[in-house]
């Protein structure tokens, strides 16, 4: 029990601020009600029921995932498809929002796995994930086994869910999807929500690390002059202009979305055109990074869904690269940006640049190892 409390902390994170939406849903009664409330309010006048039904149906359907032609469509799941899988025993739905939001309302049968649960609270690198052993325990506690199809959702724009999906892929669990539009879209479509807290049965989570999904600081440093490697900085343009990795291009991760209000993926044709116009092509090795690993995995997942074969995510991102004086940085004009050594550094951050200068041979792609993405 003590371990579980440590693994599932209810810490408030800055990126968990909500927009104040109230849960809606409840197909077992008038739209907008949770199941228990619906059972107490069955005497609505027919006209009101008809009006609410009309409003529910007025939410436009948007084809996503397989319907839109992604090369790897299973990585991105539509709300329509998840609706059909709610009671599938082989599916584990992960709600990565704060526990307080989960308890208010969540997708039926979803298990709470707070985003903070995969982060190392003792690390001085903001956003650094847990070590592999602790990650395996966390995922096993969430009821994820070898044959589980995991569907992850958040209440943002899929960026936090995408990191959890990336962690699963990196740990060797390939059967994973991110819900397109997340909980906000589920609510907007007035689909059923629940308040029942699901306590999953602990499973055995097998670890089969896919290191070719990750880029380290050393890996990047060795390839700064490689014309076949593209570094994609997905931070906002202002952050990129202030300082970035030499040769990196800037493609704000939010450009993957249909719009600021419709926070679902753009259609594949639009995404392909956007990446190709920026020189991000399938024949290159693509490395994506952001500030604290809460944005870059959305672009990683987007590229994998589009069928890009060689994509890596720099999980420690700017939290490691930015403060390290041994790692080069330039501004918008290409001028070097110098930083002083912080008083306290994570051991890995302090040594990242030094390790990269030892002349280690570049790591080879690990394609053909059985992963489907």
pLDDT digits (tens, 9 = 90+) for 5-29: 333 333 333 333 333 333 333 333 3
- pLDDT at 2 exceeding the cut of 50: no
In a domain, 298, yes or no: yes
pLDDT at position 219 is 97
CA dihedral defined by 107, 17, 313, 116, rounded to 10 degrees? -70
| Residue at 3 is within a domain | no
The percentage of the chain sitting over the pLDDT mark of 90, rounded to a whole number, equals: 69
Q: How confident is the model at residue 142 (pLDDT cuts 50, 70, 90)?
A: very high
The SS3 call for residue 249 is strand
Average pLDDT over all residues of the chain: 81
Residue 283 belongs to a domain:
yes
Within a domain: 220: yes
Judge whether 278 lies within some domain.
yes
What is the pLDDT, as a whole number, of residue 341? Answer: 56
pLDDT level of residue 370 (50, 70, 90 thresholds): very low
CA contacts within 13 A on the Cβ side of 189: 18
Whether 102 maps to a domain, the answer reads no
Query: How many of the other CB atoms lie within 10 Å of CB of 22?
Result: 8
Question: Looking at the domain assignment, is residue 368 inside a domain?
Answer: no
Compute CA distances 193 → 22, 34, 104, 323, 330, whole Å: 11, 6, 10, 43, 48
Which range marks the domain in which residue 296 is found? Answer: 212-356
Tell me, what CATH number does 341's domain have? Answer: 3.40.250.10
**Over residues 66-83, mean pLDDT:** 87
For the segment 78-104, the average pLDDT, to the nearest whole number, is 97
Please check whether residue 170 lies inside any domain of the structure.
Answer: no
State the total domains in the chain: 1
> Structure pTM?
0.78
Task: Give 37's pLDDT tier (boundaries 50, 70, 90).
Answer: very low
């Amino acid at each position: 029990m003590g371990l579980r409390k440590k693994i599932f902390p209810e810490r408030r994170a800055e990126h968990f601020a909500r927009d104040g939406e109230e849960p809606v849903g409840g197909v077992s009664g008038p739209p907008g009600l949770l199941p228990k409330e619906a059972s107490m309010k069955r005497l609505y006048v027919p006209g009101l029921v008809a009006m609410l039904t009309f409003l529910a149906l007025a939410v436009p359907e948007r084809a996503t995932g397989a319907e839109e032609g992604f090369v790897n469509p299973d990585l991105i799941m539509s709300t329509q498809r998840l609706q059909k899988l709610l009671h599938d025993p082989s599916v584990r739905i992960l709600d990565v929002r704060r526990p307080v939001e989960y308890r208010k309302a969540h997708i039926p049968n979803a298990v709470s796995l707070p985003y903070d649960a995969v982060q190392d609270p003792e690390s001085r690198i903001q956003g650094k994930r847990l070590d592999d052993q602790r990650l395996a325990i966390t995922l096993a506690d969430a009821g994820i086994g070898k044959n589980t199809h995991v569907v992850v959702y958040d209440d943002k724009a899929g960026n936090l869910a995408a990191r959890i999906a990336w962690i699963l892929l990196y740990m060797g669990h390939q059967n994973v999807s991110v819900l397109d539009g997340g909980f906000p879209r589920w609510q907007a479509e007035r689909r059923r929500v629940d308040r029942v807290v699901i306590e999953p049965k602990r499973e055995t989570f097998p670890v089969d690390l896919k290191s070719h999904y990750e880029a380290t600081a050393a890996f990047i440093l060795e390839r700064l002059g490689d014309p076949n490697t593209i570094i994609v900085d997905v931070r906002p343009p202002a952050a990129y202009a202030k300082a970035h990795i030499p040769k990196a291009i800037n493609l704000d991760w939010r450009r993957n979305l249909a719009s600021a209000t419709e926070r679902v993926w753009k259609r594949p044709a639009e995404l392909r055109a956007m990446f190709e116009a920026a020189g991000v092509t399938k024949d290159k090795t693509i490395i994506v990074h952001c500030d604290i690993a809460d944005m870059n995995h959305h672009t990683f997942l987007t590229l994998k869904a589009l069928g890009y074969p060689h994509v890596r995510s720099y999980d420690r991102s700017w939290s490691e690269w930015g403060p390290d004086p041994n790692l080069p940085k330039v501004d918008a004009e290409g001028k070097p940006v110098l930083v002083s050594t912080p008083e306290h550094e994570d051991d890995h951050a302090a040594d990242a640049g030094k390790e990269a200068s030892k002349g280690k041979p570049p790591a080879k792609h690990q394609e053909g190892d059985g992963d489907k993405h």
